[in-house]
Chains A and B, each alone.
Chain A
Amino acid sequence: MALLNKSKRIDISVNGVKISAIENSNLIDSIKEAGIDLPTLCYHKDLTPNGSCRLCMVEVEERGKKKLVTACNYPVRAELNVNTETEKVKRHRKNLAEMYLGRWPNVPVIQEIAEKCGAVDKEKYKSDLTDENPKACILCTHCVRACDEFIQEKILGFAGRGYKRNVNMPFQKVDPHCVGCSSCAFVCPTGAISIDDNLNHPVNPEMIRDHGMKVNAEMATLDPYQCRMREVGTANIVEVMDAYDLLPVMNYKYGQHKDTPKMDSKVMKAKYFTQGHPDQCWHGCSMACAKAVEHFELKTGPYKGDKVIVDGPEYETAAGGSNMGCFDLDFIVEYNFYCDTYGLDTISYATCMAFVMECYENGIITKEDTGGLHLPFGATNDALEVLHQMARGEGFGLEFGQGIKYLKEKWAKKCPEKAQFIRDIGMEAKGLEYSEYVSKESLAQQAGYTLAIKGPQHDEAWLIFMDMVNNQIPTFEDKAEALYYFPLFRTWFGLYGLCKIVWNDVAPKDNSMKYPPQQAAKIPDHVYNYWKFVEGMTGRELNEQKMLDESARVHNLQKIMSIMLGKGERKDDIPPYRAMGPVTVEEYESRVLRYDKQLKDNGIDIEGKTSEEKVQLMKDFRYEQYRKVTDAAFTRRGWTLEGVPKIERLKELGIDLPELVEIVKDKQ
């Protein structure tokens, strides 16, 4: 169907009341806005209208012509005069209500509608089809549409034509593919569908369902206009990141590239994705963001020539491609497949390869080091060969497989005059390769990455979107607070085994209007949903403090374990400079206006300075900024300035166990 053109408005009149309607919106919305409650049995606010009950018939006058239309699915395209109460409309409505009353006389919603429409004669349409059951199915199609639109299944459908029409599962059998999401029962207005709620004995199944259905409804109604997760999954971020100059290109040197349109989600959807059903990562998830490519013919490696199914590519895998300077989706899908097959992480592989490529281009390594492989940016074939070598445990692949931390120390020794450069561009911290976002211009993300206990991956504090795209944490204090809240919040997800994606890859329509930016970034209504899931399951009521405390215990325990392993202190939380700012003159000059302005705005004199000098000035400035935000974040977390949990914080959390205190007591 046509996407709504949200911007254009059209003046219409409803029973004389002037309303400004959104172009292509359904007429019923405007009628409701005019305060008129039309009778309807098939309309549902979260489902695509299908105009089957016909009760919401109204008379419209459009371009001088009068006609009867169903308000639920009539699109507003031109100026309209709407009359909801003409004699004809009332007569038809009464007649239709009587038809319902004749067939299902004892169903409460029908009795209500009949009363509204002035239908009293139960005998007029009485026939052998009359069903006295007060919980009879009235064929409103809510359940069938919910199955399709909420959960993207088609378990429920109609069997039989005409008066034999009935809601059923395929071949009139219980379909084993039904995931038991209970959406159908939730939207049923008569109680015709009943659900067995006791499969795993939740304390309050109604509570879980009430909040789960909000998620389902948002997925069905908002996702197509927001992130399109159902359509293309996380790949939708490729073009967003490119637009905001945040897509890693050539080992994070740049944030956008002219070739990005060759590998964005539009191309994936048009030429690659063949699967998009809710059967991939979590059966029954109404977001179903996992996508797959079928019949993909491999060009290299042990399965060369085979046609395979590839799970993905997701955003990070695609962005890994641009990071290696490879804007070729065939390559991206191939490395995606082999990483999966070999049990490798696409991010670590891509980031490491990006580092190797930059070293190769700078003459730090040559074909002698790579066993003859030619590895500048964009070298798709040789990059795949390294992947296969790594799996076989031979050649350059054996070296490569040990990661950036190993390679950078090795090559810094080999090439001491370029040691600082190598350390600046080797994108790892605590031995883990960076994931695929350019954090250069986002102080919050720099700290989000490097202060993460397990290393610079985006799961613990994915702040780049709220910092750079949505601009929700502009001040220094906002960033420090975010560095307190989000790692704890995200750790809490991990603790309960909950998926993060449905938390913020779709947001309630009114989120940004209802809350100030810092709060809006948390998407409070969705966090509340999660508390209610836990409460409905366990009976334990949660609030923000309780949630953060639950999480802080584990977060601090992780931190102490990290200290015990020798990776948990401030010295381990320093990012390589590529993650923070322009390493090279070339990088500086690519954003010279922005960088010059930032230096000047911060009172640094750049008059007559060369680019080399400005790179150094910027580096000093940014490390200073980073120091400040780290201090603030550690303090907010109850840690020393060296990043060690204070004993009083452990006491506060009730985890001042002797074994733990023993590890931190000398570092207070």
Chain B
Amino acid sequence: MKRISKEDIVNISKRQNDEFNKYKNMLMVCTGTGCVSTGGISIRDKFNEVLKNKGLDSENIAIGTGCNGFCAVGPIVVVQPEGVFYQRVSLDDVEEIVESHVKNGKIVERLLHKNPVSGAINEKIDNIGFFTKQQLIALRNKGLIDPENIDHYIARDGYKALKKVLEENNPEKVVNDIIASGIRGRGGGGFPAGVKWESGRKAAIKRNEEIFVVCNADEGDPGAYMDRSIIETDPHAVIEGMLIGAYAVGSREGYIYIRKEYPLALDRLNVAIKQAREYGLLGENILGTDFSFDIHVHRGAGAFVCGESSALMQSMSGKAGEPRAKYVRSVEYGFRDKPTVLNNVETWANIPAIIDKGAEWFASIGTGDVSKNPWGGSSGTKVFSLVGDITNTGLVEVPMGITLREIIFEVGGGIPNGKKFKAIQTGGPSGGCIPESLLDMKVDFDSLSEAGSMMGSGGMIVMDENTCMVDIARYFTNFLVEESCGKCTPCREGLYAMKQTLDRICNGEGKEGDIEFLEEMSETIIDTSLCQLGGSAPNPVLSTIRYFRHEYEQHIKEKKCVGGICKSLIQYKINEEKCIGCTACARPCPVNAITGSVKKLHIIDQDICIKCGICREACKFDAVEVF
């Protein structure tokens, strides 16, 4: 490959699109982390092998793409350009798809998606409920390009925005466009990205210092993988975003801080950076201009707190990842004490689209009015990872302002196994739990905060009726206790005390005043913690007290856990009427607590029972009940 010019961007795009158009069928095989683990890469390779053997490879091709988001039904193969969607494809299905669909034009019906509720069959990806409500900006290329091929990205208007800003040669305009778009940081803080850029640009000029741009790819929330997927799907979108940001603020050097636990994302990122360098899109004199910029990749070691920007910069400097006070902001004194503009992966990935399609277009999506100031609303889309007790587990990109109900019941397909919805936890471990009464709330930065939760980086954990909210608060608090860096007192000592109190409540040792103590401590932790890890850590406790106070009270006063989770507060009993004496429950019991012979009523000895719940799962007649 060789260094390319601005004109080459257009030429490469045309050439690649011509090549795409030459194919009758493009079998887009999902090779995101989820589908790779179920064989995506070997399926892609087998497709190409079979196509070749059958002499069909000149008009048909299999391409590995990034994550489609619908991880629950992987490995996924989408046949483009028609958009036929095959799910749970295995190696054994390859031959059939090629023979039937590719060669004879006959769709393989057994691999199509079925609506789990109605049972209706959907041929096309566009008709599947999971996809219809989505609007793609950050993930605009998902399922459509090979992330390891820079020409594919260019074919889908990639690096067109970079070309545009270089031609316009007006960095300030770029900053103003980003402000006007209203885009707020997708990493959790929701700070307007353009305002941050402007401060960084001014600080660098004022101090006559170099300035860094940083991409935060240290996604550490349990159950969240938005940033990982974006990098795996479209790494050049992130690189182009950073290039535009660097150009706007006057930076020559950028860093991507990425979790070491993301091997596939890391590989794809390195491939993309290498390709961009070969094209001269990174390095000196980019596209023949006097703009020079390069990106270094820094691997994080997996500390949750390193997602906090000042801790991240400490870690990048080779120090222990601990936050510092932000009274002096990192846009002025950040990495190496120089001005530093940090945005997360999703924010960077949005930038090229904003420049390409215009700030107004972006601002028109979402809630509120950002035309006067970016705090006026939440514009654009947001990627969420939808996990927990939900039918369509996966990654979705939806416009801001969509309701939680739409996300859960339309995109997510509702709660499986006929159970009832209880709560949704948003915003990662230090987000809050939102009850059913608020499901018609619009999802945006400000509404979520008002509800006692937060946008965070976009994790959504759905919980059904068999969930204990005190236990959930305890789970997240435990996570935060382990991930607190320990630098400041309230987070270190306060969270530990909180965990102990929750442990006691769940163990049936709760006492009068515990709830008030949790509330009092929460206030101190929120108000006095050094960083936002501590500042938001009490959210799970406070939001569950706010919406599910009665559960706390039941635990403390009645010593009861309605979710059936807290072992000290529950008993398993066998319903005399339902039990048929099949012995299925007694056999797997690890402590032999169940007595009763064949065809006779079984009884659980409460003194021996360890409440592991295996009997309940084993019983086919719902005879084992929890009290």
Q: Bound complex: CA of A162 vs CA of B494, how far in Å?
A: 11
Binary interface encoding of chain B residues 516-548 relative to chain A, with 1 for a CB under 8 A from any of its CBs, else 0: 010011011001111000000000000000000
> SS class of chain B's interface: helix, strand, loop or mixed?
helix
Residues on B with C-beta less than 8 A from A50 are 324, 487
Q: Bound complex: CA of A139 vs CA of B521, how far in Å?
A: 21
Asked whether B328 lies within 8 Å of A162 as measured between CB atoms, the reply is: no
Distance (whole angstroms) from the CB of A277 to the closest CB of chain B: 15
Interface size class of B (residues with CB under 8 A): 35 or more
Q: Look across to chain A and name the residue whose beta carbon is closest to the beta carbon of B493.
A: A99
* Given A51-B530, A68-B527, A91-B524, residue A100 in contact with residue B486 (CB < 8 A): no
Distance (whole angstroms) from the CB of B517 to the closest CB of chain A: 8
Distance (whole angstroms) from the CB of B487 to the closest CB of chain A: 5
Residues on A with C-beta less than 8 A from B497 are 99, 102, 125, 127
Asked whether B530 lies within 8 Å of A99 as measured between CB atoms, the reply is: no
Distance (whole angstroms) from the CB of B495 to the closest CB of chain A: 7
Q: Bound complex: CA of A323 vs CA of B527, how far in Å?
A: 62
Number of A-B pairs, beta carbon distance below 8 Å = 104
Residues on A with C-beta less than 8 A from B483 are 161-162
- The A82-119 residues at the B interface (CB cut-off 8 A) are 88, 91-92, 95-96, 99-100, 102-103
Q: Bound complex: CA of A161 vs CA of B301, how far in Å?
A: 13
Asked whether B328 lies within 8 Å of A52 as measured between CB atoms, the reply is: no
Q: Does A157 count as interface, using CB distance less than 8 angstroms?
A: yes
Q: Does A559 count as interface, using CB distance less than 8 angstroms?
A: no
The residue that A1 contacts in the complex, of B328, B517, B523, with Cβ under 8 A, is B328
Asked whether B494 lies within 8 Å of A99 as measured between CB atoms, the reply is: yes
Binary interface encoding of chain B residues 482-502 relative to chain A, with 1 for a CB under 8 A from any of its CBs, else 0: 111111111111111100100
Asked whether B489 lies within 8 Å of A52 as measured between CB atoms, the reply is: yes
Q: Does B320 count as interface, using CB distance less than 8 angstroms?
A: yes
* Given A102-B497, A163-B481, residue A70 in contact with residue B325 (CB < 8 A): yes
* Given A2-B328, A92-B524, A92-B527, residue A129 in contact with residue B496 (CB < 8 A): yes
Residues on A with C-beta less than 8 A from B484 are 161-163
Asked whether B493 lies within 8 Å of A103 as measured between CB atoms, the reply is: yes
The residue that B493 contacts in the complex, of A1, A51, A57, A163, with Cβ under 8 A, is A163
Q: Look across to chain B and name the residue whose beta carbon is closest to the beta carbon of A27.
A: B327
Q: Does B475 count as interface, using CB distance less than 8 angstroms?
A: no
* Given A92-B527, A95-B521, residue A161 in contact with residue B486 (CB < 8 A): yes
Residues on A with C-beta less than 8 A from B485 are 161-162, 165
Q: Bound complex: CA of A164 vs CA of B481, how far in Å?
A: 10
The residue that B490 contacts in the complex, of A2, A96, A161, A164, with Cβ under 8 A, is A96
Asked whether B527 lies within 8 Å of A162 as measured between CB atoms, the reply is: no
* Given A127-B497, A161-B482, A163-B481, residue A95 in contact with residue B492 (CB < 8 A): no
Q: Bound complex: CA of A165 vs CA of B481, how far in Å?
A: 12
Q: Tally chain A residues at the interface, Cβ within 8 Å.
A: 37
Distance (whole angstroms) from the CB of A293 to the closest CB of chain B: 21
Q: Bound complex: CA of A471 vs CA of B517, how far in Å?
A: 66
Q: Does A465 count as interface, using CB distance less than 8 angstroms?
A: no
Binary interface encoding of chain B residues 296-338 relative to chain A, with 1 for a CB under 8 A from any of its CBs, else 0: 0000000101000000000000001000110110001100010
Q: Does A661 count as interface, using CB distance less than 8 angstroms?
A: no
Q: Bound complex: CA of A57 vs CA of B325, how far in Å?
A: 13
* Given A1-B333, A54-B530, A95-B524, residue A162 in contact with residue B489 (CB < 8 A): no
Distance (whole angstroms) from the CB of A193 to the closest CB of chain B: 19
Asked whether A165 lies within 8 Å of B492 as measured between CB atoms, the reply is: yes
Asked whether B482 lies within 8 Å of A96 as measured between CB atoms, the reply is: no
Q: Bound complex: CA of A155 vs CA of B520, how far in Å?
A: 39
Binary interface encoding of chain A residues 132-166 relative to chain B, with 1 for a CB under 8 A from any of its CBs, else 0: 00000001000000000000000001101111110
Asked whether B493 lies within 8 Å of A160 as measured between CB atoms, the reply is: no
Residues on A with C-beta less than 8 A from B500 are 127
Residues on A with C-beta less than 8 A from B325 are 51, 70, 73-74
Distance (whole angstroms) from the CB of B503 to the closest CB of chain A: 10
Asked whether B486 lies within 8 Å of A69 as measured between CB atoms, the reply is: no
Q: Look across to chain A and name the residue whose beta carbon is closest to the beta carbon of B332.
A: A2
Q: Look across to chain B and name the residue whose beta carbon is closest to the beta carbon of A164.
A: B486
Residues on B with C-beta less than 8 A from A139 are 486, 492
Q: Bound complex: CA of A366 vs CA of B332, how far in Å?
A: 59
Distance (whole angstroms) from the CB of A165 to the closest CB of chain B: 3
The residue that B492 contacts in the complex, of A1, A68, A162, with Cβ under 8 A, is A162
Q: Bound complex: CA of A50 vs CA of B403, how far in Å?
A: 42
Distance (whole angstroms) from the CB of A158 to the closest CB of chain B: 6
Residues on A with C-beta less than 8 A from B481 are 162-163
Residues on A with C-beta less than 8 A from B337 are 1
Distance (whole angstroms) from the CB of A190 to the closest CB of chain B: 15
Residues on B with C-beta less than 8 A from A73 are 325, 327
Interface-central residue, B303, B337, B493, B527, by most chain A CB under 10 Å: B493
Q: Bound complex: CA of A91 vs CA of B488, how far in Å?
A: 17
The residue that A95 contacts in the complex, of B303, B488, B496, B520, with Cβ under 8 A, is B520
Residues on A with C-beta less than 8 A from B487 are 50, 52, 165
Binary interface encoding of chain B residues 181-212 relative to chain A, with 1 for a CB under 8 A from any of its CBs, else 0: 00000000000000000000000000000000
Residues on A with C-beta less than 8 A from B524 are 91-92, 95-96
Residues on B with C-beta less than 8 A from A88 are 527
Q: Look across to chain A and name the residue whose beta carbon is closest to the beta carbon of B480.
A: A162
- The A352-398 residues at the B interface (CB cut-off 8 A) are none
* Given A50-B324, A51-B325, A96-B524, residue A160 in contact with residue B486 (CB < 8 A): yes
Distance (whole angstroms) from the CB of B199 to the closest CB of chain A: 14
Q: Bound complex: CA of A162 vs CA of B478, how far in Å?
A: 11
Distance (whole angstroms) from the CB of A127 to the closest CB of chain B: 6
Asked whether B490 lies within 8 Å of A54 as measured between CB atoms, the reply is: yes
Asked whether B333 lies within 8 Å of A54 as measured between CB atoms, the reply is: no
Asked whether B328 lies within 8 Å of A163 as measured between CB atoms, the reply is: no
Q: Does A53 count as interface, using CB distance less than 8 angstroms?
A: yes
Residues on B with C-beta less than 8 A from A70 are 325, 530
Q: Bound complex: CA of A7 vs CA of B266, how far in Å?
A: 49
Q: Bound complex: CA of A2 vs CA of B327, how far in Å?
A: 12
Q: Does A39 count as interface, using CB distance less than 8 angstroms?
A: no
Asked whether A96 lies within 8 Å of B528 as measured between CB atoms, the reply is: yes
Distance (whole angstroms) from the CB of A30 to the closest CB of chain B: 15
Residues on A with C-beta less than 8 A from B305 are 161
Asked whether B496 lies within 8 Å of A68 as measured between CB atoms, the reply is: no
Interface-central residue, A55, A73, A100, A163, by most chain B CB under 10 Å: A163
Distance (whole angstroms) from the CB of A29 to the closest CB of chain B: 15
Q: Look across to chain B and name the residue whose beta carbon is closest to the beta carbon of A99.
A: B493
Distance (whole angstroms) from the CB of B27 to the closest CB of chain A: 46
Distance (whole angstroms) from the CB of A114 to the closest CB of chain B: 13
Binary interface encoding of chain B residues 72-90 relative to chain A, with 1 for a CB under 8 A from any of its CBs, else 0: 0000000000000000000
Q: Does A75 count as interface, using CB distance less than 8 angstroms?
A: yes
Residues on A with C-beta less than 8 A from B488 are 51-54
Residues on A with C-beta less than 8 A from B529 are 54
Q: Bound complex: CA of A165 vs CA of B493, how far in Å?
A: 11
The residue that B327 contacts in the complex, of A69, A92, A157, with Cβ under 8 A, is A69
Interface-central residue, B483, B485, B529, by most chain A CB under 10 Å: B485
Asked whether A99 lies within 8 Å of B486 as measured between CB atoms, the reply is: no
Asked whether B486 lies within 8 Å of A158 as measured between CB atoms, the reply is: yes
Q: Bound complex: CA of A70 vs CA of B490, how far in Å?
A: 13
Residues on B with C-beta less than 8 A from A160 are 486
Residues on A with C-beta less than 8 A from B521 are 95
The residue that A96 contacts in the complex, of B303, B320, B332, B489, with Cβ under 8 A, is B489
Residues on B with C-beta less than 8 A from A158 are 320, 486
Q: Look across to chain B and name the residue whose beta carbon is closest to the beta carbon of A154.
A: B319
Contacts A99-B493, A162-B492 known; list 6 others, CB within 8 Å: A2-B333, A51-B530, A52-B487, A74-B325, A163-B481, A163-B484
The 5 closest A-B pairs by CB, nearest first: A165-B486, A99-B493, A162-B484, A95-B524, A162-B486
20 sample A-B contacts, Cβ–Cβ < 8 Å, listed by A number: A1-B337, A50-B487, A51-B325, A54-B488, A57-B528, A70-B325, A74-B325, A75-B327, A95-B490, A96-B490, A99-B497, A100-B489, A102-B493, A160-B486, A161-B305, A162-B483, A162-B484, A162-B491, A163-B481, A165-B487
- List the interface of chain B (C-beta within 8 A of A): 303, 305, 320, 324-325, 327-328, 332-333, 337, 481-497, 500, 517, 520-521, 523-524, 527-530
